[in-house]
């Protein structure tokens, strides 16, 4: 029977400061640890059974005698701490320089060219919270039809538009044009469409280099994206994409693919821990989000076949207990489960982000990915005994 693998990214669920966290202003950041302390202990029994308590000491999560998975922490090697950098590194693309950021807004030449190509003016052009800038500029946007352009501490060019002022197709086309404009040295990590609806005071947002994905497809397997994965990789090396509006939808899409596919990689991002709670400095909400995932985890495990592999990991931290609302430079969480492997004493793996993609590649193809960084996790990819 053909093999399948799932890489499921719990966005922003960092597992403690990285070795170079201080250089990023993140000394002491510890997303999982601090959330556990803030809520009086994590309540995630299914993750506990997989081995989460072995990753690092966590209040409320005990090491178990017979864990169902392998575990560890992964060190970042790329420069940067945004989602694109983290996901690219999970797939084996290591960046020597971080994507550019624009705390003072984008240069005039970028904005002028965006206006010229889209035929509409621009409001904002500042670093701001997405909800706040829509409140600030929404009424003027509705009067004038100008784009609301903004960025954040991440390397992003975000374009907001009211759905009843500018059609969605025009918004998406504007983002494609922005992507064409944003070339080096202004090659931001992501261009994001931010449609919204409602009225003033009650606006609401409506929801190419070789890497392990390349090598998996070159070996004859397939890659299926869930959530924002296809956007992060600009559609490259993706066979099918299932965009989602919530973690619950992402979990359902992942289970659906496990029921339908005979082989290949399912690459899923669950964003709510980061987007809704990490950036909003809400540790209680962060914990509830983890609990919601934990309650759905048996459904994912139950959809696995004997020869499948599930890797739970993260792309960076987003510690909701610090003064910052930005991402934090942290280890990635690693908990992996393969029904055909019986965990033992040698199942800890402390490696680097790109070991995730290398492991999925080795699991699916049995081959060496060659020039792509990362080492397969030995417990999972050594010959079965």
Distances (CA, A) of 363 to 221, 263, 302: 11, 11, 19
> Which single residue is written with the structure tokens 């790329």?
78
251 lies in some domain: yes
* Alpha-carbon radius of gyration of the chain: 21
Whether 1 has a pLDDT exceeding 60, the answer reads no
Distances (CA, A) of 103 to 126, 147, 151, 302: 7, 19, 8, 45
Distances (CA, A) of 214 to 235, 264, 265: 12, 12, 12
Angle at 278 between CA 276 and CA 280, to 5 degrees: 65
Q: Residues 54-110: pLDDT tens digits?
A: 999 999 999 988 888 889 999 999 988 989 899 999 999 888 778 889 999 999 999
Element (H, E) at 37: helix 31-38
> Which single residue is written with the structure tokens 């890489």?
7
3-state class percentages of the chain: helix first, strand second, coil last, to nearest 5: 35, 20, 45
Total structural domains in the chain? 2
Q: Is residue 197 domain-shared with residue 148, that is, in the same domain? A: yes
What confidence score (pLDDT) does residue 205 get? 67
Confirm if 355 and 377 have CB atoms less than 8 A apart: yes
Q: Beta strand 4-10 with 308-313: parallel, antiparallel or unpaired?
A: parallel
Q: Residues 130-169: pLDDT tens digits?
A: 778 999 999 999 999 999 999 987 788 999 999 999 998 8
Q: Is residue 10 domain-shared with residue 36, that is, in the same domain? A: yes
The winner for highest mean pLDDT among 224-238, 284-298, 331-345, 359-373 is 284-298
Confirm if 196 and 138 have CB atoms less than 8 A apart: yes
Element (H, E) at 352: strand 351-352
What confidence score (pLDDT) does residue 346 get? 63
100 lies in some domain: no
Distances (CA, A) of 137 to 148, 254, 361: 7, 37, 46
Which of residues 205, 240, 266 is at a domain's end?
205
103 lies in some domain: no
- One-character DSSP codes across 118-175: HSS-EEEEEE--HHHHHHHHHHHHHHH--EEEEE-SSSEEEEEEETTTS-HHHHHHHH
Please give the model's pTM, rounded to 2 decimal places: 0.76
Q: Is residue 61 domain-shared with residue 121, that is, in the same domain? A: no
Q: Residues 298-326: pLDDT tens digits?
A: 999 999 999 999 999 999 999 999 999 99
Q: Is residue 271 domain-shared with residue 366, that is, in the same domain? A: yes
Q: Give the whole-angstrom CA distance, residue 101 versus residue 298.
A: 39
Q: Check which CATH number belongs to the domain holding 183 and give it.
A: 3.30.70.1250
Confirm if 153 and 126 have CB atoms less than 8 A apart: no
158 lies in some domain: yes
Confirm if 347 and 338 have CB atoms less than 8 A apart: no
Q: Is residue 248 domain-shared with residue 174, that is, in the same domain? A: no
Q: Residues 107-132: pLDDT tens digits?
A: 999 999 999 999 999 999 999 877 78
Q: Is residue 275 domain-shared with residue 371, that is, in the same domain? A: yes
127 lies in some domain: yes
Q: Is residue 246 domain-shared with residue 312, that is, in the same domain? A: yes
Across the chain, what does the average pLDDT equal? 92
| φ, ψ for residue 54, nearest 5 deg | -90, -20
Q: Is residue 240 domain-shared with residue 168, that is, in the same domain? A: no
Q: Give the whole-angstrom CA distance, residue 341 versus residue 339.
A: 6
Q: Is residue 241 domain-shared with residue 282, that is, in the same domain? A: yes
Q: Is residue 87 domain-shared with residue 151, that is, in the same domain? A: no
Q: Is residue 252 domain-shared with residue 343, that is, in the same domain? A: yes
Longest distance between any two alpha carbons in the chain, whole Å: 69
As a dihedral over the C-alpha atoms of residue 221, residue 226, residue 228, residue 234, rounded to 10 degrees, the angle is 30
CA neighbor of 298 nearest in space, from 47, 96, 84: 47
136 lies in some domain: yes
Q: Is residue 201 domain-shared with residue 216, that is, in the same domain? A: no
- Report the residue count for the chain: 385
Which of residues 173, 205, 237 is at a domain's end?
205
Confidence grade of residue 190 (pLDDT, cut at 50, 70, 90): confident
Whether 384 has a pLDDT exceeding 60, the answer reads no
Q: Check which CATH number belongs to the domain holding 234 and give it.
A: 3.40.720.10
Please give the structure tokens belonging to residue 230. 């296809």
Domain that holds residue 362: 4-93+209-381
117 lies in some domain: yes
Q: Residues 258-284: pLDDT tens digits?
A: 999 999 999 999 999 999 999 999 999
98 lies in some domain: no
Q: Beta strand 330-337 with 70-75: parallel, antiparallel or unpaired?
A: antiparallel
Q: Residues 7-31: pLDDT tens digits?
A: 999 999 999 999 999 999 999 999 9
Which of residues 205, 222, 252 is at a domain's end?
205
Confirm if 105 and 126 have CB atoms less than 8 A apart: yes
């Amino acid at each position: 029977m053909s093999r399948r693998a799932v890489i499921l990214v719990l966005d922003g669920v960092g597992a403690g400061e990285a070795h170079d966290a201080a250089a990023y202003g993140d000394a002491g950041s510890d997303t999982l640890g601090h959330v556990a302390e803030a809520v009086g202990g994590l309540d995630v029994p299914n993750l506990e059974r997989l081995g989460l308590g072995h990753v690092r000491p966590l209040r409320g999560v005990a090491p178990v005698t017979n864990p169902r998975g392998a575990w560890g922490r992964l060190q970042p090697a790329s420069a940067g701490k945004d989602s694109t950098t983290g996901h690219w590194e999970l797939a084996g693309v290591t960046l020597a320089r971080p994507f550019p950021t624009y705390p003072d807004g984008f240069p005039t030449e970028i904005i002028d060219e965006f206006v010229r190509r889209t035929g509409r003016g621009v409001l904002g052009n500042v670093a701001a919270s997405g909800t706040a800038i829509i409140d600030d500029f929404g009424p003027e946007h509705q009067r004038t039809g100008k784009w609301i352009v903004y960025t954040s501490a991440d390397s992003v060019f975000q374009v907001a538009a009211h759905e009843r002022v500018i059609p969605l197709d025009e918004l998406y086309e504007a983002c494609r044009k922005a992507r064409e404009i944003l070339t080096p040295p202004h090659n931001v990590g992501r261009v994001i469409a931010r449609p919204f609806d409602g009225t003033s005071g009650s606006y609401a947002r409506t929801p190419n280099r070789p890497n392990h994905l390349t090598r998996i497809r070159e070996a004859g397997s397939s890659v299926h994206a869930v959530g924002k994965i296809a956007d992060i990789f600009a559609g490259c090396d993706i066979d099918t994409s299932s965009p989602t509006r919530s973690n619950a939808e992402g979990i359902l899409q992942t289970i659906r693919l496990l029921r339908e596919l005979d082989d290949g990689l399912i690459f899923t991002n669950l964003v709510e821990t980061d987007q809704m709670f990490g950036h909003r400095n809400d540790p209680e909400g962060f914990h509830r989000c983890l609990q919601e995932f934990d309650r759905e985890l048996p459904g994912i495990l139950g959809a696995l076949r004997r020869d499948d592999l599930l890797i739970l990991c993260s792309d960076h931290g987003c510690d909701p207990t610090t003064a910052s609302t930005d991402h934090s430079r942290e280890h990635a969480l690693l908990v992996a489960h393969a029904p055909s492997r019986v965990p033992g004493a040698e199942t800890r793996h402390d490696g680097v982000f790109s070991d995730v993609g290398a492991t999925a590649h080795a699991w699916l193809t049995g081959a060496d990915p060659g020039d792509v960084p990362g080492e397969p996790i030995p417990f999972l990819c050594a010959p079965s005994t």
